């Protein structure tokens, strides 16, 4: 919801300042200028990006308006689930969690944590490495290196939509200038007309520049930054899983392994040691 609030603040501030200076708000409504700028930006985006990036951008927008799912409660659910999973493996052996790994949708353990279970990438990441652990065919250093490589690839892939949107944000002032130039060309065609008509046409042309700069710096650019934040939070969630698994592979007990995971979390979402301990005890 912060995105909606930010948009409202930008629009209200710009329009209020313009009106208080004596400007007429109706003059700013120039749909043909918007058509030129938005159409040029959309076309440039389609030219520059493969279809897979375009699809990811489209899928990203609903997530931005819903807000990040990776809040403090989500992380606490994750760490409690990992603790329960590895405690079961420690008590009964790795083969005891094989049924949970093979059929996670019907796993009583995973179903106790529906928010984490519904995070597709996180569950795929966790289950893939649990299978490798159960198989026992890789040593801890090889497994850690593989996880690092996967996270790096995921980080690059998740940031592609943000980079694509940011390039369009950088280009939008230029598209505004294109709209302004076309408006000036139209104004020059009326050079023999009344001064009031020419002035109105020039004003319309300048609004094209205004709209390009405003949309680039106040809307599209900040959206690309918000998308970067979302991508980093998603990777950080998987990194918490990775660190916990590596701690288990290095022989730490589950209670200490989840502490390793807690330490790599961002401070805003990180629970205290006692808070996490109490939460885990209440869930088990």
CB neighbours of residue 92 within 10 Å: 10
Give 96's contacts (C-beta < 8 A, 6+ positions apart). 88, 89
CA 23 to chain centre: 37
**Distance, CA of 260 to CA of 16 (rounded, Å):** 51
pLDDT number for residue 67: 77
Burial status of residue 58 (CB atoms within 10 A of its CB: 0-12, 13-18, 19 or more): exposed
For 20, other C-beta atoms within 10 Å of its C-beta total 8
Digit-by-digit pLDDT tens for the chain (284 residues) are 678 888 899 999 999 998 888 888 888 888 999 999 999 999 999 999 999 999 999 888 887 777 788 999 999 999 999 999 999 888 888 788 888 898 888 888 999 999 999 998 999 999 999 988 887 766 888 888 999 999 999 999 999 999 999 999 999 999 999 999 998 888 888 877 787 788 888 888 899 999 999 999 999 999 999 999 999 999 999 999 999 999 998 889 998 999 999 999 998 889 888 888 888 777 66
DSSP summary character for residue 272: P
User: Rounded to two decimals, what is the model's pTM?
Assistant: 0.85
- Computed over every residue of the chain, the mean pLDDT equals 89
233 contacts 68 by C-beta, under 8 angstroms: yes
Q: Provide DSSP, 111-171.
A: HT-HHHHT-HHHHHHHHHHHHHHHHT-S-HHHHHHHHHHHHHHHHHHHHHHHHHHHHHHHH
Q: How many CA atoms does the CB half-sphere of 167 hold within 13 Å?
A: 13
- Cα 20 from Cα 61, distance rounded (Å): 34
Q: What is the pLDDT of residue 276?
A: 84
CA–CA gap between residue 168 and residue 48 (Å, rounded): 10
């Amino acid at each position: 919801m912060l995105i909606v609030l930010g948009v409202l603040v930008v629009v209200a501030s710009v329009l209020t300042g313009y009106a208080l200076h004596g400007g007429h708000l109706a003059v700013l409504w120039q749909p043909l200028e918007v058509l030129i700028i938005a159409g040029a930006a959309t076309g440039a985006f389609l030219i520059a990006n493969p279809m897979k990036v375009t699809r990811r951008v489209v899928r990203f927008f609903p997530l931005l308006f819903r807000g990040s799912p990776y809040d403090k409660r989500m992380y606490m659910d994750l760490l409690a689930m990992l603790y329960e999973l590895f405690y079961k493996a420690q008590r009964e052996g790795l083969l005891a969690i094989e049924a949970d790994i093979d059929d996670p949708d019907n796993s009583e353990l995973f179903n106790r944590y529906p928010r984490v279970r519904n995070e597709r990438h996180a569950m795929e990441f966790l289950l893939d490495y649990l299978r490798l652990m159960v198989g026992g065919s890789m040593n801890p250093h090889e497994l850690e290196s593989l996880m690092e490589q996967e996270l790096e690839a995921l980080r690059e892939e998740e940031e592609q939509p943000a980079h694509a949107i940011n390039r369009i944000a950088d280009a939008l002032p230029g598209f505004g200038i294109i709209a302004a130039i076309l408006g000036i060309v139209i104004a020059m065609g009326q050079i023999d007309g009344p001064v009031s008509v020419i002035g109105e046409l020039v004003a319309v042309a300048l609004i094209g520049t205004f709209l390009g700069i405003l949309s680039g710096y106040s809307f599209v650019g900040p959206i690309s930054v918000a998308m970067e934040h979302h991508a980093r939070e998603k990777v950080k969630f998987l990194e918490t899983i990775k660190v916990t698994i590596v701690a288990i592979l290095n022989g730490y007990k589950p209670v200490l392994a989840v502490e390793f995971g807690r330490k790599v979390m961002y401070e805003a979402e990180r629970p205290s040691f006692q808070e996490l301990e109490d939460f885990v005890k209440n869930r088990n």
